[in-house]
Amino acid sequence: MIYSMTGYAALTDELALGTLSIEIRSVNHRYLDIQFRLPDELRVLEPGMRELVAARLTRGKVECRVGLQTTVSTQVSLELNQALLRQLKTLDQRVRSELPGAASLTVSDVVRWPGMVESAAMPPEQLRERSQALMSRTLEEFTASRAREGEKLKAVLLERVVRIEALVQKVQPRIPLLITAYQERLSARLKEALKDVAVPVDEDRLRQELVLYASKVDVEEELSRLVTHLAETRRVLASGGAAGKRLDFLMQELNREANTLGSKSVDADVSQASVELKVLIEQMREQVQNIE
């Protein structure tokens, strides 16, 4: 499937000590950028949850909000981590012995220290397991939302591909006629310019020059490459996965061919087709920026 880098999901889980909530939202980004927002008492859970997120995503700016709303009944059962408290006390004494002017840790500092406050209603390991389980379920919802957005983007891109193919099919049969007409106009102008010249015109040399100049306005090769890039775009969209960077490269190649088509055009209709091509390709490029 094609996945959008834009997604959202939020789930909650009722625990013995309160309500655990996880919210994930993301927008497009060149690389994978994961940011966590969670209270200090849950900071010890971040590494495990970060690993789960990184294993599922490859690109996007992802914000994860984790919260714990404790109930009145569980707030009275909170306890201090005695082992960690003793370590902090020792470290505090050592720091102040080396730096007599240093301020001692306050009660607020100790209570807010990650992992210091524990709940008798739920052991830390059980809280870790429940939080990771909730994160996994939230990621499932998040991935599903990105997949739905991705399917919409895919439909938009394929619709633009069809319109570009129609433009190419409209222009391609006219190219030989346009080249012939261009050669005839150029030949008439050259003969008109040389009619008063005393030296006779070398017809063979004139034909060679006309062929040379005509090749400079021949856009058959550009149209063929457009068709090839469009076929590759269809293939990448059908293959799915992390296709954003590959599609972005194809948009650059399509735009290059459209620009060349416009610069070599000697016909108003071809020039108009080139403008329409560039508009459609730019619309595709904007959508591709949201694909993982």
Tell me the pLDDT tens digit for each residue of 107-159: 888 877 777 766 555 677 888 899 999 999 999 999 999 999 999 999 999 99
How many angstroms separate the CA atoms of 88 and 83, rounded? Answer: 9
How many angstroms separate the CA atoms of 143 and 9, rounded? Answer: 9
How many angstroms separate the CA atoms of 279 and 126, rounded? Answer: 56
Q: What pLDDT, on a 0 to 100 scale, did the predictor assign at position 130?
A: 93
Q: How many CB atoms lie within 10 A of CB 59?
A: 19
Q: How many CA atoms lie within 13 A of 273 on its CB side?
A: 26
- Averaged over 166-179, what is the pLDDT? 77
Q: What pLDDT, on a 0 to 100 scale, did the predictor assign at position 210?
A: 59
Q: Specify burial of residue 153 (Cβ count, 10 A radius: 0-12, 13-18, 19+).
A: buried
Q: What pLDDT, on a 0 to 100 scale, did the predictor assign at position 237?
A: 95
- Averaged over 42-71, what is the pLDDT? 92
Higher pLDDT, 273 or 200: 273
Q: What pLDDT, on a 0 to 100 scale, did the predictor assign at position 161?
A: 96
> In whole angstroms, how far apart are CA 122 and each of 26, 76, 79, 125, 168?
31, 13, 11, 8, 66
Q: What pLDDT, on a 0 to 100 scale, did the predictor assign at position 191?
A: 63
Domain boundaries defined on the chain? 7-76+124-147, 82-111, 149-288
Question: Please, which contacts does 167-170 make with residues 24 or more away whose CB atoms are closer than 8 Å?
Answer: 167/273, 167/276, 167/277, 167/280, 168/223, 168/226, 168/227, 168/230, 170/273
CATH architecture for segment(s) 7-76+124-147: 2-Layer Sandwich (3.30)
Cβ atoms of residues 7 and 28 within 8 Å: no
Is the pLDDT confidence value at 172 over 60?
Answer: yes
Please, what sign has the CA dihedral across residues 267, 273, 274, 279? positive
Least confident range of 147-156, 170-179, 192-201, 232-241: 192-201
Cβ atoms of residues 168 and 271 within 8 Å: no
Is the pLDDT confidence value at 55 over 90?
Answer: yes
The CATH number of the domain covering residues in 149-288: 1.20.140
Q: What pLDDT, on a 0 to 100 scale, did the predictor assign at position 59?
A: 92
Q: Which pair of tokens denotes residue 184?
A: 């005839």
Q: How many CB atoms lie within 10 A of CB 246?
A: 18
Place of tokens 């040399």: 205
Q: Would you say how long the chain is, in residues?
A: 292
The whole-chain average pLDDT of the chain stands at: 84
How many angstroms separate the CA atoms of 168 and 173, rounded? Answer: 9
Is the pLDDT confidence value at 76 over 50?
Answer: no
Query: Strands (DSSP E) along 16-84, which ranges?
Result: 18-27, 32-37, 60-70, 78-80
Is the pLDDT confidence value at 184 over 90?
Answer: no
Query: Strands (DSSP E) along 38-133, which ranges?
Result: 60-70, 78-80, 117-119
Higher pLDDT, 137 or 273: 137
